A and B are shown apart, each in its own frame.
Chain A
Amino acid sequence: MHTEEPVARTGPQTGPAGASEPAGYRRAGRRPPAVLLVPATVAAVLALLPLGYLAVRSLERGPGFAWDIVANERTAQLLGRSLGLAGVVVAASLVLGVSLAWLTVRTALPGARAWSVLVTLPLAVPSYVAAFAWLSAFPQLAGFTGAAVALTLVSFPYVYLPVTAALRGTDPAQEEVSRSLGLGPVRTFWRVTLPQVRPAAAGGGVLVALYVFSDFGAVSLMRYDTFTRGIYTSYRASFDRTPAAALSVVLVVVTVLLVAAEARTRGRAGHARTGGGTARRAVPAPLGRMKGPALTWCGAVAAVAVAFPLGTLGYWLAVGNSATWEPGRLLDTAGTTLGVAAAGAALTTLLALPVGVIAARHRGRAAHLLEQSAYAGHALPGITVALALVFFAVRYAHPLYQELPLLVCAYAVLFLPVAVAATRAAVLQAPPVLEDVARALGRSPLRVLRDVTVPLAAPGFAAGAALTFVVCMKELPATLLLRPTGMDTLATRLWTETGVGSFAAAAPYAVTLILLAAVPSYLLGRHRT
C-alpha cells in the first residue's frame, strides 16, 4: 500500500486550488457527503478484496520468498512485454477511437449513424475469438503483432465510446468560434476539439491498457508471453499460489501508477457548458475532398474488426461435421448468460455511481483513494479475482459460495472501472453549477444526487451499464470457478467446445454471444444525448 502514498499526493498539486477556479467550474466541496462516501467505500472495499487476498497469499512464505519472485529477471521482462503491448494497443486504439468519433459525430460523413453502430460492434467480440480468427487466417501473425492487432480491434471502442459521448456533450459553439476566427477544420480539431475530449480519451485509454494487462485469451492464442500469461503459467505449472500472488501484486502496483498518471494528465479543466441557453447539435463539418478517404477509413476498420471475425465464424459454422446444433441448450445458455450479465451490470453500475460522482466532483485524498481502489481489480487476471473470492467466501460467507450472488460480485470487482469511467465522464459533463444551486436552495446531498446529478448524467450511466453488460457476457475464468455447479454461460460453453478442438461446434455459441452482445453495443453506438 506504500505505493499509493505518492498517488494520493498528486491530486492537489496538479490542478489549481479550489478557491482560484472560475466560479462556473467549481466542484462540490473537498469532502464528499456521507451519502456518497459510504456506498463508495463499500465499492472500494469490494474492489480491494483481491488485493487483501494477494497480500495474504504472497506473504505466507515470508517477504523474502515473495521478493525473490518479484525481483526475478523474468518478472521485469514480462512486465516490459505487457507494458510494450499495452502502449502499442493504447496508441492504436486512441488513433482509431478518436478519429472515428470525430468523423461520425462532427463531420458530414455519409451514413454516420450506421458507421457509429458498426465501429462499436467489435466490443461484442471476445478477445480469444478475435485472436483465433486472425490466427486461423494468418498463422504468421502469432506473437507481438498478432496480439497487438487482435487486442486493438476488440478494445478501441473503449476509446471511441467515451470520446463520442464527450463530443456530443460539448457545445459546438467553441468550434464555431474557432472556425469563424479563420482556423481550418484540422487546426480547430487540434486546438479546440481535442482538448475537450482529452479526459474521455484518457479514461478510455486507461481502460484499454487495463484490458491488455488482464487479457489472457488473445495473448495465449498468439503465444505472446505477457505478465498475465506468466501468472497463469505459474498457477498451471506448480499449483503454487504464492508466486502467482506475488506477481499479481506487481500488476496491481502498475495499475495504480497508471491510473494515477492518467489522473495527472487529466488536469482539472471543466468540461461543462455554463452559459445561458442550451447546447445545439453541432453543424457537421463538410469533408470535401476528404470524403473518400474518410469512408475508406471507416470501411476498413469495420471490415477488419467486425466483418472479418464474423466471416471466420461463418466459415466454422459451414465446415466440419462436428457442428452439432443444440437449439434448446443454446437458448437455455443464452438466457442464463443474459441473466447473470444483467445482474452483474446492475450491481456494477450501482457501485460505480458514488465512486464516479466523487471522482468527478470531489478532491482530496479520500476521493483519490476511492477512485484508484475501484481500478485495483481490473488489471488482475480473472482467475486471481476468482480465487480471491473463493478464499473469502469459503471462510466468511460459505452459504454464498458457488451461488450466483458471488459470481455477480466477481463481475463487479472485475468491471467496476468500466462503469466508473463512464459515470465520471458523464458527471463531468453535467454543469456543477446546477448542483450548487440545488444545494444553495437547501436540498440534501441525497436529493441533489437524485434530482440533479443522476438525471443529468443518466445517459452516461446507461452507457456504462450497457458496456458492463457486454463485458460480463464475455467473461470466462471467473465464471468457470464461481458459477453454481451445472450452470453454463455462452462463454463457458464456448470454452467446453473449443476444449476438445471442435471450433465448428463452438461457432454457434460464439455467434450467439456476439449477436447478443451486439445489442447493447448497437444501442451504445446509436445512443444520442
Chain B
Amino acid sequence: MRRPSARRLTALVAAAMLLPALAGCGSDEKAGLVIYSGRNEKLVKPLLDELEKAVGTTVEVRYGDSAELAAQILEEGDKTTAGLFFSQDAGALGALSTEGRLKKLPQASLDKVGAQFRGGAGDWVGTSGRVRVLAYDPDTVTKAPDSVHDLTKPEWRGKIGYVPTNASFQAFVTGMRVLEGDDATRTWLKGLKANDPKVYENNLKVLDAVGEGEVSLGLINHYYWYEKVAEDGADKVGAKIHFLPGGDPGALVNVAGAGILKGSTQAPVAQKAVDFLLSKRAQTYFADDTKEYPLAAGVTSSVKDLPPLDSLDAPKIDLGKLDSLQETLKMLQDVGMV
C-alpha cells in the first residue's frame, strides 16, 4: 500500500515538471521588436497588430501595469529585452527619463505633437490624450460648476463622487500642485474632504453613480463617458459631462506615450513604431476606438460631440513635472483621502 502511493506521487510530480517544458518548445523565435505595453491589451491590441505590419518585422508585446513595467525596465537595466515602452501615463515615462533609460527622439517625431505633450528631455512623446472632466446628473444639476474650486462649496456637500486611488485623479492633484502650489492644493483637498465626497473604486463606478443619481457630480476622465455611451447607448447613460473652461486645474490633459529604450539594438525598428503611433492611422484609432484625443497635428476625432483638443481651455502645464507624485500621495495621506 505504501510503495505504490509514493510511486504514483513521483510519477505525478515528473509529469507536472514535463508539462511546461513541452509548452516552452517553439517559443525561441526572436522578435524584431519587443514592446512593453502599460496600456491595456483590450484597448490597443488591434492597433499593435497593425503596427507589426507597418514596421515590417515580428513584434512581441508584453502587457502589464505601467508602473510595474517601468520598475521592471529599471531593474533590467541595460539588459532589458524591451525596445519600446508604451505607457499608460506620463509619470512612468518621466521616471524612466529621470533614470536616463530613454533614448532621445528625432526632432521630426517630437514635432508631430504639441510641445506640452512630450517629455522635457525630448526622450518620450505623447501618443494620445485624456481630459479630466466633471460628470453630472442633469436631473439634479442645471448648470455644472466651471471650476473644481466650486466643489468645496456647501451646495455640493455629500454630492460628489471620486476615486482618490486612481492614477488620473492623483495626476490631476499633482497638476494642481504645479499650477497653484502645495498650500492652495492642500487647502482645496481639505475643503473637498470636508464636503464629504463619496469614494468609489474606479471611474466607471463614479459614472454609474452619477447616472443613477447617487451623487450629482463626479471627477472622471472624458473617455469613460464616451465608452459607456458606445456600449450602452446614449439614451441609457444618465450622466452628462462638462469640460471645465478657463484653464482650470480640473481640466488637465494627461497623455499616454511612448519612449525608446536607450542602448536597445531594436532602436531603429522602435523608431518606426513610434512614427506609426503618431501616424494618421494610429491617431484615428485612438480617436475612434479608445475615445481619446489624437495628439498629432491634422487628425481630428470622428467621435460625435468630442470637442476638438485645441478648443479646450486646458491648463498650461509641463507634463514632465507630473513626476512629483510621491509628494501628492503624501498630501493625500495627510488629508486622509488614501
Contact residues of A with B, CB < 8 Å? 74, 135, 139, 142, 220-221, 223, 225, 233, 235-241, 321-322, 336, 338-340, 342-343, 345-347, 349-350, 383, 387, 390-391, 394-395, 398, 401-405, 408, 450-451, 454-456, 458, 461-462, 465, 477, 480-481, 484-486, 496-497, 499-502, 505
B17 near A347: Cβ-Cβ < 8 Å: yes
| Most A CB within 10 A of own CB, among B31, B71, B329 | B71
> With contacts A233-B329, A350-B13, A387-B75 known, is A403 near B5, CB below 8 A?
no
Residues on A with beta carbons closer than 8 Å to the beta carbon of B17: 343, 346-347
> Which B residue's beta carbon lies closest to that of A346?
B16
Q: Contacts of A499 on B, CB cut-off 8 Å?
A: 40, 42
**B231 x A321 contact (CB < 8 A):** yes
Stretch at the interface among B135-143, B147-155, B198-206: B198-206
Q: Which 6 A-B pairs have the closest CB atoms?
A: A455-B2, A239-B95, A342-B16, A346-B16, A236-B67, A501-B204
Which residues 45-101 of B sit at the A interface, judged by CB distance below 8 A? 60-65, 67-68, 70-72, 74-77, 79, 81, 92, 95-96, 99
Bound Cα distance from A403 to B76, whole angstroms = 15
Chain B residues whose CB sits within 8 angstroms of the CB of A458 once the complex forms: 2, 5-6, 9
Contact among B19, B199, B202, B338 with A501 in the assembled complex (CB-CB below 8 Å): B202
Closest to A390 in B: B75
Nearest opposing residue in chain A for B35, CB measure: A485
Q: Give the interface size bracket for B toward A.
A: 35 or more
Q: Cβ of B34 < 8 Å from any Cβ of A?
A: yes
A336 touches which one: B23, B42, B43, B71 (CB < 8 A)?
A: B23
- Of chain A, the residue at the smallest CB distance from B64 is A480
B318-330 vs A, Cβ < 8 Å mask (1 yes, 0 no): 0000000110110
The interface bits of chain B over 1-28 (1 if a CB of A lies within 8 angstroms of the residue's CB, else 0) are 0110110010011011101110110010
* A/B interface sample: 7 pairs, CB < 8 A: A233-B338, A343-B16, A346-B13, A390-B72, A481-B68, A499-B42, A501-B204
- Is B212 located at the chain interface by the 8 A CB criterion? no
Least CB distance, A70 to chain B, in whole angstroms: 17
Given A221-B201, A461-B9, A501-B202, also A391-B19 (CB < 8 A)? no
A391 CB, min distance to chain B CBs, angstroms: 5
Q: In the complex, what residues of A have CB within 8 A of residue B3's CB?
A: 455
If A135-B201, A496-B41, A496-B63 touch, whether A237 touches B329 (CB-CB below 8 Å) is yes
Residue of B nearest to A498 (CB): B202
The reply to whether A485 and B62 form a contact with Cβ atoms under 8 Å apart is yes
Which residues of B (295-338) have their CB < 8 Å from a CB of A? 325-326, 328-329, 333, 338
A485 to B62: give the CA distance in the assembly, Å.
Answer: 5
Q: Could you tell me the distance in whole angstroms from the C-beta of A389 to the nearest C-beta in chain B? A: 10
User: CB distance A401 to B20 under 8 Å?
Assistant: no
B165 on interface, CB distance cutoff 8 Å: yes
Given contacts A239-B70, A239-B95, A496-B41, contact A223 B201 (CB under 8 A): yes
Interface pair A481/B72, CB less than 8 Å apart: yes
